[in-house]
Amino acid sequence: MAENNALSGQVAIVTGASRGIGADIARVLAREGMTVIACARTMEEGDFHIPGSLRSTVDSINSAGGKAVAYRCDLSKEEQINELWEFAVREFSHVDALVNNAAIAVPGTIETMSWRHFHLNLVIDVVAPVLLSRLAVAHMRQLGRGAIVNISSGASRGPGRGPYKRTSVGGTPYGLSKAALERFTQGLASELWEDNISVNAMSPARQIYVGGTIYVTQTNPTYSVGDLAGKRKDGTIMGDACAAIFRADRRQFTGVVSTDEGVLTELTGIKTFDHYATY
């Protein structure tokens, strides 16, 4: 674990940390000296049909000498979001950083997706980050500092204008939610910059083929991952970019909507990323 690190002793909440990008972000932040509150619905392996659990994430962190606790939370329920924050403040007294990573991507077009799934998509991908950020803002103002990172996606950019060469077969609801998250990011950032609280959004520059992404592409014929060549095997780069944001000047680096590579280039000067594993 990191010593003499600017992040040592700080506390971060990471949602969606039972697998995939969220789990990798949690591991990197713990490696950098932060205490991580890993949040998700899946506490134990087998509780959900996709591999991964909070237990495995937290055990891997603690066995490596880091500090992490698991907290089971259904982000579709406001009362559980409130309870998560109350737990964090009660147990650790301060929360310095929030990573809104949890998301769902239910396959289907606007025409075919059920209202229940469309509503759930918006609740998890947009409403939950807003509710958590509201709690974070009140707390971070008292601390006099804080940082929020919202994990977005290239899907936010959409297919552009027509005429089109192929018909979209899904992804519009998910892209809609990520576009909303990015607009929320910059709006909140502009409200908070004088309070020494940064708010940024970040998406993978290359697709990270892990966790839920693997499940969706393997179980839904309308989604194709295409050629795996060049896709990343894990989300370590996202964790490194989060850590860089948390070290940055919060009044200067805020309201940024970028990629993991873009963040690292701007904040650390790194311009090549070959050391991050790809297929």
Write out the residue range of the structural domain in which residue 108 sits: 11-268
Pair 269, 211: CB distance under 8 Å? no
Task: Say if 116 falls within a structural domain.
Answer: yes
Q: Look at the chain and report how many structural domains it folds into.
A: 1
Q: Which amino acid, one-letter code, is at 254?
A: T
Q: Is 20 exposed, middle or buried (CB count within 10 Å of its CB: 0-12, 13-18, 19+)?
A: buried
Q: How many whole angstroms separate alpha carbon 210 and alpha carbon 97?
A: 24
Per-residue model confidence as pLDDT tens digits over 54-70: 999 999 999 999 999 99
- Radius of gyration, CA atoms only, the chain: 18
Q: What is the largest CA-CA distance in the chain?
A: 55
Q: Is 181 a member of any domain?
A: yes
pLDDT digits (tens, 9 = 90+) for 158-190: 999 999 998 887 789 999 999 999 999 999 999
Classify residue 48: in a domain, yes or no: yes
Does 226 map to a domain?
yes
Amino acid at 86: E
Q: Please report which confidence band the pLDDT of residue 220 belongs to, taking 50, 70 and 90 as the band edges.
A: low
The pLDDT value given to residue 211: 60
User: Which residues are identified as catalytic?
Assistant: 174
Q: Which residue shows structure tokens 């509710």?
A: 131
Q: Is residue 6 part of a domain?
A: no
Each residue of 73-115: pLDDT tens digit? 999 999 999 999 999 999 999 999 999 999 998 878 899 999 9
Number of residues that make up the chain: 279
**What whole-number distance in Å separates Cα of residue 214 and Cα of residue 171?**
15
Q: Is residue 276 part of a domain?
A: no
Asked whether residue 240 is assigned to any structural domain, the reply reads yes
Contact 210, 144 (CB under 8 A): no
Q: Which of 88, 74, 86, 52 minimizes the C-alpha distance to 128?
A: 74
In this prediction, residue 212 carries a pLDDT of: 58
* Residue 132: closest CA among 143, 120, 146: 146
277 within a domain of the structure (yes/no): no
Measure the CA–CA gap between 19 and 59, rounded to whole angstroms. Answer: 13
Helical residues (DSSP H) of the chain, grouped into ranges: 20-31, 54-63, 78-92, 115-122, 128-143, 172-192, 211-219, 236-247, 260-268
Q: Tell the residue number behind the tokens 């506490």, with chain if given.
A: 43
Mean pLDDT value of segment 199-210 = 94
Integer distance in angstroms from the first to the last C-alpha of the chain?
A: 28
Q: How far apart are CA 254 and CA 261, in angstroms?
A: 16
CATH number at residue 196: 3.40.50.720
- In this structure, how many other beta carbons lie within 10 angstroms of the beta carbon of residue 103? 26
User: Distance (Å, rounded) from C-alpha 141 to C-alpha 10?
Assistant: 16
Q: Is 143 left (phi over 0), alpha (psi -120 to 50) or beta?
A: alpha
Please determine, for residue 223, whether its predicted confidence score (pLDDT) is greater than 80: no
Q: How far is C-alpha 83 from the geometric centre of its chain's CA atoms?
A: 20
Q: What's the rounded Cα separation, in Å, for the pair 228 and 230?
A: 6
